[in-house]
Structure 1
Amino acid sequence: MIIALLTYAIVASFTPGPNNIIAMTQARHQGFAKTLPFVGGVAAGCLLIMFLSSYFNLVLQQYIPRIRPVLNVLGCVYLIYLAFKIMRSASAHQKDNRTNPYSFLFGFTLQFMNPKVILYGLTAISVFVLPLAQSHAHMIVFSVLLTVVGISANMTWALCGVIFQSALVRYERPFNMAMGILLIYSAISMLK
């Protein structure tokens, strides 16, 4: 079960989503260090969602079929907004590098509007964790483990933004368009 949980967590975390795309774009524009507050906010929000998923999974599972369509629509609209924001973003050379629009608070808040993270937590906990154990210690350990995997993915995407910065700057417009299209695809796939 642990290998299946880790496989699910890695695949779900490393696929393109708002956290990863924003981290990569932000690191490309502002550098890795200025992306860390956003990643920290993502980590804090993700950890809180994992804890909530752990402790309220059985109760929430009854309501997921009813609230999922609402979460999906809200998430879809928000992802499309982010996609257009990325696609229309100005060149890194035109921006004031002293500002960081993607703060800790933005990263934290984004998690509660990101159905991918919410469903990641609910699915991982209900399918892989609850059949193994239900003690407080296990819930905390698995919540931290799921968050660490998710943040590892987020940091990897941010590092890719820095490492491939010269290529990304050279092909900035097509890159922003591709990332925006991936976000729109993610948004539309949530409505299926």
Structure 2
Amino acid sequence: MSLSLSMAAFALAASISPGPVNIVALGSGVRHGLRASLAHVTGATLGFCLLLVLVGLGLHELLIRWPLLGVALHWGGVAFLLYMAWKLASDNGQLGGEHQHQAPSAWHGAVMQWLNPKAWLAAVAGVGAYTGGEQQLLWWFTWIYAPICFVSVASWAWAGSVIRQSLSEPRYLRLLNRGLAVLLVISAGYLVF
């Protein structure tokens, strides 16, 4: 298998598998539709690519030298996941109307990647496996990763937009949102224990 194909396979497996960013993309697709969710998708993609590049340029060394920074990121991620779970669980299940919430922004998607343990693991593992400290390989890996990440996260938002058509009753949307909230709490709980 060529190095590029291996990089692409890694990017797909890491990007499309369930995780906090994809859960939010799914929920956003349900609540706001695909088009409105693309800002979150774009922000998540750019946020991850920036994380990948900075890890490749030595950010992980900074975390090793300053462990409190890593601890702050860890607990910030836990808090953010719990906040997102609370937002989903407290949603009233109404699609549209005067109290319509805004779709997650690009900044939201980018910040979520930086607080997402799955993103950090993917960045560190990917850089370690594929770049060998060579900047040219780092840039190539990022170039391959970006469109795969975008399409992967967008597929979750698209799935949400498809599900949206079946959720005309608020109680069904509330049930879905609470299920997604439970998944985020489980993700946060995994980080605590």
The correspondence for 2:77, drawn from 75, 78, 83, is 75
User: Post-superposition shift, 1:121?
Assistant: 0.7
Amino acid at match of 2:115: M
Q: How many corresponding residue pairs?
A: 189
Asked if the contact 2:60/2:124 (under 8 Å) is kept, the reply is no
The correspondence for 1:18, drawn from 9, 17, 20, is 20
Structure 2 residues not aligned, in runs of 5+? none
Distance 2:100 2:116 in 1: 27
- Encode CA deviations 1:67-101: one digit per residue, 9 max, x unaligned: 54432222111101101111111223354487624
Amino acid at match of 2:138: M
**Does residue 149 in structure 1 map to residue 148 in structure 2?**
yes
Distance 1:136 1:96, change over 3 A: farther
Distance 1:20 1:142 in 2: 21
How much identity, in percent, do the aligned residues show?
A: 23
Distance 1:51 1:95, change over 3 A: farther
Distance 1:64 1:181, change over 3 A: farther
What TM-score comes out, normalization by structure 1 length?
0.83
User: Post-superposition shift, 1:111?
Assistant: 2.3
Distance 1:30 1:94 in 2: 8
1:124 alignment partner in structure 2: 126
CA RMSD of aligned residues (A): 2.7
1:50 alignment partner in structure 2: 52
Asked if the contact 1:168/1:175 (under 8 Å) is kept, the reply is no
Distance 1:115 1:175, change over 3 A: same
Structure 1 residues not aligned, in runs of 5+? none
**Residues 75-154 of structure 1: pairs in structure 2 closer than 5 A:** 75-93=77-95, 95-96=97-98, 100-126=102-128, 128-131=129-132, 134-154=133-153
